[in-house]
Structure 1
């Protein structure tokens, strides 16, 4: 069974105004991402004590699902608009070594 296709993206934003505008862009983009069947997890975090950083964790069913995500109009809009808010970007593609998937409310 394939373990999925995952990546982590760390965006460093220019300033607090750019961070607010970036967060608005992310919120708009998330509406479309929710309808993507192959996108299993698309989580955005702000690290503690780093208000100008956003960390995305993305998990797709497989490489094709990732490519389908990249081809969506909402994703293309995000990719085209994001650079105006950024001071830097780091992308890390991940290979699963071990995993645990639990449903909310399950024990163990």
Structure 2
């Protein structure tokens, strides 16, 4: 792995009351390769707590490459544009409903609701 590569690093973060160790996979960026095969990384999170921007040595088996996910905005080039999406965008919006509201009551209360707004 080269410097600048984004990796996932298994990191011991805390010891629980039961005595077990809490290990999280945190996102980090490789800063440099070490002579003994490890890497120096800078975590993207607020870790280590004392100095979050300091480089930390990581053993090679603790770091894993993050696979880039495909962009959700661009469909694969081999597929044609979906017709359901085109039909949904051209569909006319439904008219608003009263949804159980009494129009007579709304007409009576509407002038009273406007009074505080004008004051």
After TM superposition, the score normalised by the length of structure 1 is 0.20
Give the number of the structure whose residues are more often helix, by fraction: 1
After TM superposition, the score normalised by the length of structure 2 is 0.19
